[in-house]
Amino acid sequence: MPNLFVEIVSPDHVAFSGEAQGVQVPGVEGSFEVLFNHAPMIAAFGVGAIRVTTPTGEQIFYATSGGFLEVIDNHVNVMAETAEPATDIDVERAKAAEERALTRLRAAEGEPERHQAEQALERARNRLRISMGQVGHRANV
């Protein structure tokens, strides 16, 4: 099967750069996957998991808080606000972030505060979900 070239970048690092069978992102209107010969596109994605399937079938997961994806001529550029490998997520830190977000949510006095706390809670819970499903191993297809 022919491969794509995938690059996942965030403001502070390159999370992945190399060949892949496909990449799946949490699109704002539903999750979608890009495979070889996908039509050119630009799409936004939200909080969730980015899944890269390597040429050997290994799946690598990243926790993301959103961004944009561009596809041109079998090159996929993923520009993510965050892209944290599942195997690197500090579960205790993610649990602490979840607790802080819950505390902020309970104390929120206005809609802007409530919205920010809900977003923080969603990001923390996303990191926990991804870490619990992926820490210590990478699934093979």
Q: Which residue has the tokens 């993923």?
A: 78
Sign of CA dihedral 135, 92, 7, 66: positive
Name residue 13's beta-bridge partners: 10
Inside any domain, residue 40: yes
Q: Which residue has the tokens 């820490």?
A: 135
pLDDT value at residue 133 = 76
Integer Cα distance of 16 and 86 in angstroms: 13
One domain for residues 79 and 53: yes
What does pLDDT average to in each consecutive run of 10 residues of the chain (141 residues)?
Answer: 94 96 95 96 96 96 96 98 93 92 91 91 92 52 32
State the residue range of the domain holding 63: 4-86
One domain for residues 35 and 81: yes
Inside any domain, residue 81: yes
